Chain A
């Protein structure tokens, strides 16, 4: 693609579908006529060259000159993404991920059928729901609600999807995946989480509230 080198940071996951060259899959049938219909662009989808993901929430905070202005201050983006639309965040609330589960694979690299135990360690009462899928958690299946009264698992799963979406989009994340896991691990072991520099540990509800602030 002639403008490949313009992309100093990928705008979204479909950059994987772009390649320096689209190469044809040669297919000749017995009659010698080409039956190829779709060009495979690199390792990605045949025929689907590129997708620009909708991020309407990000219109509120523009990237100005490498500065992402958001309510939590500004992040100076060193890897100069030229994409003002989603240079700030790939984050969404749990309802968004719940309703757009079909987009998980392309945005996060995660199937909506992935299980809780595949991504986070179930402990204590949460062991009862270890095989529930991430989507079921977001859908607030009644068994999940029974053990997740403070919604920490719900918001951790959301934060995880956000972290993965940011990574795939090449955007610095407010809360990368390892931090989400660390929060979950401490909470699931102790029933609380103590951020560094904090005088006292946070309760489940406080953790949930905090996680939601990172979704903007």
Chain B
């Protein structure tokens, strides 16, 4: 596994979703699944939609000046789970 995967939205995912009170439902264009996600995850997906990037940049994208290692670990885990759902993918380095 490469040290800094660049993540991107799986091509074809339009992020069709609705949010309410901090939770969102999202339609998965590829699998047809429906996901119940925290709003922060949808924000992450939208950031990836805007531009692919490594987890460290995504962590910094909400204005935090340093990449908190605990946060990065969490992000890595979330990204891995989103990859398992065919929402995101790591670009080969």
A residues neighboring B (CB under 8 Å): 25, 27, 29, 35-39, 45-54, 56, 100, 102-103, 105-106
Known contacts A27-B70, A37-B40, A39-B38: does B85 contact A51 (CB below 8 Å)?
Answer: yes
10 A–B pairs (Cβ distance < 8 Å), ordered by A: A37-B40, A38-B41, A48-B82, A49-B37, A50-B35, A51-B34, A54-B28, A54-B31, A103-B86, A106-B84
Contact call B33/A102, Cβ cutoff below 8 A: no
Interface centre among B23, B28, B36, B83 (most CB of A within 10 A): B36
Complex-state Cα separation, A45 to B80, whole angstroms: 9
Q: For B82, what are the chain A residues with a Cβ–Cβ distance below 8 Å? A: 48
Contact call A45/B81, Cβ cutoff below 8 A: yes
Complex-state Cα separation, A209 to B9, whole angstroms: 39
Contact call A102/B71, Cβ cutoff below 8 A: no
Contact call B70/A35, Cβ cutoff below 8 A: yes
Size of chain B's interface in residues, with CB distance under 8 A?
27
A108 to chain B minimum Cβ distance, whole angstroms, is 12
Q: For A45, what are the chain B residues with a Cβ–Cβ distance below 8 Å? A: 77-78, 81
A127 to chain B minimum Cβ distance, whole angstroms, is 31
Contact call A35/B37, Cβ cutoff below 8 A: no
Contact of B78 among A35, A46, A56, A102 (CB under 8 A): A46
Contact call A46/B33, Cβ cutoff below 8 A: no
A198 to chain B minimum Cβ distance, whole angstroms, is 38
B82 to chain A minimum Cβ distance, whole angstroms, is 7
Complex-state Cα separation, A25 to B74, whole angstroms: 10
Complex-state Cα separation, A52 to B75, whole angstroms: 22
Q: For A52, what are the chain B residues with a Cβ–Cβ distance below 8 Å? A: 33-36
Contact of A49 among B31, B33, B36, B71 (CB under 8 A): B36
A158 to chain B minimum Cβ distance, whole angstroms, is 18
Complex-state Cα separation, A37 to B70, whole angstroms: 10
Q: For A103, what are the chain B residues with a Cβ–Cβ distance below 8 Å? A: 31, 33, 84-86
Known contacts A35-B71, A52-B33: does B38 contact A47 (CB below 8 Å)?
Answer: yes
Contact call A105/B74, Cβ cutoff below 8 A: no
CB nearest neighbor in B for A44: B81
